[in-house]
């Protein structure tokens, strides 16, 4: 049975991944940590407040709980990163370097997500290949490419079991994302339920890859369970399930929420970032090397998102 530590467990991915990992490996075997005190994470297993930049406190927890697998989910996202680039580097790379060193010292496997943000304007835009040009123009992307390279280095140089996927924009009804370029694809559902209207910060024609959270969580578990002998790549795998523009998702929401309207107030930073990212990824390597196969598409995801957010509204939670 794995003994898992999650850093950044209070975020969009972590809050749901913690629950899933605890359901698979048992509550006591999954230690959740976050910068902030997140009461709900303490209800089903151990929880500690941890600043992942504090290497000593981080290593102490790994040793105390005899951890063998770390999920490093600490990150400032793309749009926030452009406001405070030095801080973004300090946090994103600081947490990663501590994770790599602790994984090396303590013999842990390490999962660190990369992103479609690792690509840039000179990357082939459609069906972006697994191995291709990576010259991102955001600090977030620079951190992600650095993360991929240094994680592969730790694997080949020190034998650390590092693994990663390039996440697209993640859509979920549980925890809101914050500071990302793809956040609009979550916000649209909340606004559709709350007010019937959404003002979109990303231009109508920009394609980006997106994924429903259950598929993203499944990818984390499946990759960390994959047979290492079958992995040709490690850091990091393209994974994909749906790609759409704001106009396309607006039309999907309109089908499900009669009277829904959307207009645009373009955020120039988000527009520049979105236009620098791929339209869609080729995920053949992930499919072949560890059996990646998404379950959700735009239509099924939209139906489920709206149902869950409507339930939240009925309970007075939003
Ligand atoms: C962001 O928009 O910054 C993230 C990402 C695609 O990595 N959601």
Q: Which of 103, 65, 90 is nearest to 146 (CA)?
A: 90
> For the segment 196-241, what is each residue's pLDDT rounded down to a tens digit?
999 999 999 999 999 999 999 999 999 999 999 999 999 999 999 9
The reply to whether 254 falls in a domain is yes
Q: Which of 8, 13, 73, 77 is the pocket-test mutation for ligand 1 (most atoms within 8 Å of CB)?
A: 77
> For the segment 50-98, what is each residue's pLDDT rounded down to a tens digit?
999 999 999 999 999 999 999 999 999 999 999 999 999 999 999 999 9
The reply to whether 266 falls in a domain is yes
| 153 is annotated as an active-site residue | no
Which stretches of 31-172 are DSSP H helices?
55-64, 78-83, 85-106, 139-158
250 and 115 fall within a common domain: no
201 and 221 fall within a common domain: no
The yes-or-no verdict on residue 178 having pLDDT over 90 is no
The yes-or-no verdict on residue 152 having pLDDT over 90 is yes
What span, in angstroms and rounded, lies between the C-alpha atoms of 147 and 164? 10
What span, in angstroms and rounded, lies between the C-alpha atoms of 30 and 299? 33
Dihedrals φ, ψ of 167, to 5°?
-75, 140
Q: Which of 119, 169, 176 is the pocket-test mutation for ligand 1 (most atoms within 8 Å of CB)?
A: 169
51 and 162 fall within a common domain: yes
Number of separate domains in the chain: 2
Atom 4, ligand 1: which residue's CA is nearest?
180
Mean pLDDT of the 299-317 span: 96
Cα-to-centroid distance, 180 and ligand 1 (Å): 5
Atom 8, ligand 1: which residue's CA is nearest?
169
The reply to whether 229 falls in a domain is yes
191 and 103 fall within a common domain: no
Cα-to-centroid distance, 65 and ligand 1 (Å): 31
125 and 146 fall within a common domain: yes
Return the CATH number at 50. 3.40.50.720
8 and 136 fall within a common domain: yes
The yes-or-no verdict on residue 276 having pLDDT over 90 is yes
Per-residue pLDDT, 281: 98
The reply to whether 288 falls in a domain is no
Q: Pairing between strand 237-238 and 242-244?
A: unpaired
User: Could you tell me which residues come within 8 angstroms of residue 104 by beta carbon, excluding any fewer than 6 positions away?
Assistant: 154, 158, 160
Place of tokens 């209800």: 43
254 and 152 fall within a common domain: no
175 and 31 fall within a common domain: no
Verify whether ligand 1 is closer than 6 Å to residue 78 (CB atom): yes
The reply to whether 38 falls in a domain is yes
> For the segment 20-34, what is each residue's pLDDT rounded down to a tens digit?
999 999 999 999 999
> For the segment 128-145, what is each residue's pLDDT rounded down to a tens digit?
999 999 999 999 999 999
Return the CATH number at 250. 3.90.25
Residue 1 pLDDT grade (very low, low, confident, very high; cuts 50, 70, 90): confident
The reply to whether 290 falls in a domain is no
The yes-or-no verdict on residue 175 having pLDDT over 90 is no
Structural domain for 304, as ranges: 170-210+241-283+295-314
149 and 197 fall within a common domain: no
The reply to whether 259 falls in a domain is yes
State the average pLDDT for the chain. 97
Cα-to-centroid distance, 82 and ligand 1 (Å): 12
Tell which atom from ligand 1 comes closest to the C-alpha of 182. Answer: 2
202 and 113 fall within a common domain: no
Catalytic residue among 58, 140, 184, 207: 140
Percent of the chain clearing pLDDT 90 (strictly above): 98
132 and 71 fall within a common domain: yes
The reply to whether 262 falls in a domain is yes
160 and 59 fall within a common domain: yes
Can you give the pTM of this predicted structure? 0.96
């Amino acid at each position: 049975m794995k003994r898992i530590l999650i850093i950044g467990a209070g975020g969009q991915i972590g809050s749901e991944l913690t629950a899933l990992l605890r359901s698979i490996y048992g509550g006591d075997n999954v230690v959740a940590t976050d910068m902030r005190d997140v009461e709900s994470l303490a209800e089903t297993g151990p929880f500690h407040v941890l600043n992942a930049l504090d290497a000593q406190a981080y290593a102490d927890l790994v040793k105390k709980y005899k951890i063998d697998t770390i999920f490093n989910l600490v990150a400032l996202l793309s749009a926030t990163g452009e406001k405070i680039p030095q801080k973004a580097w300090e946090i994103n790379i600081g947490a990663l370097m501590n994770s790599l060193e602790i994984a090396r010292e303590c013999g842990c496997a390490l999962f660190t997500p990369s992103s479609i943000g690792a690509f840039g304007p000179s990357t082939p835009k459609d069906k972006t290949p697994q191995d291709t040009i990576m010259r991102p123009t955001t600090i977030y992307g620079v951190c992600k490419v650095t993360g991929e390279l240094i994680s592969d280095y730790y694997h080949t140089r020190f034998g650390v079991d590092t693994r990663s996927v390039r996440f697209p924009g993640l859509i979920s009804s549980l925890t809101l994302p914050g500071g990302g370029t793809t956040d609009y694809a979550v916000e649209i559902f909340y606004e559709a339920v709350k007010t019937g209207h959404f003002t979109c910060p990303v231009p109508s024609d920009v394609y980006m890859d997106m994924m429903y959270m259950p598929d993203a969580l499944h990818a984390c578990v499946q990759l960390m369970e994959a047979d290492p002998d079958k992995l040709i790549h490690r850091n990091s795998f393209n994974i994909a399930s749906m790609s759409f523009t704001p106009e396309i998702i607006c039309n999907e929401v309109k089908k499900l929420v009669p009277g829904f309207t959307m207009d645009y107030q373009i955020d120039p930073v988000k527009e520049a970032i979105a236009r620098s990212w791929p339209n869609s990824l080729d995920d053949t390597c992930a499919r072949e090397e560890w059996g990646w196969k998404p379950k959700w598409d735009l239509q099924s995801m939209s139906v489920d998102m709206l149902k869950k957010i409507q339930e939240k509204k009925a309970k007075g939670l939003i």
